Amino acid sequence: ELQIKLDELVQDHANIAEGVSRNTNKDKSKFINIAYSTSIEVINFLILSWDLDFISEEKYIELREKTELITNQLNSFYKSLE
């Protein structure tokens, strides 16, 4: 569970940092889209972790809500670059 969260944070931050340093919105969008895709993957791993009883329902809901918030923010940022 902790590893999933750390991986998500590292990957998202790396992609966002690289993306915002780009000169064009098209280039920025590419990296924000990668970060968004990574967040979706984390949601899938959370579902799997809960289905396999690796995490409690309470923890699943908490992490899912936080990840969905990040995903929604990334999606909004991506759309603002279009």
Give the chain's mean pLDDT. 80
Query: Burial of 73 by CB count in 10 Å (0-12 exposed, 13-18 middle, 19+ buried)?
Result: middle
| Bigger pLDDT: 23 vs 53 | 53
Whole-number Å distance between alpha carbons of 36 and 33: 5
pLDDT tens profile 32-59: 888 888 889 889 889 999 999 989 999 9
Looking at residue 69, its pLDDT comes to 92
> Rounded mean pLDDT of 52-71?
92
Looking at residue 72, its pLDDT comes to 93
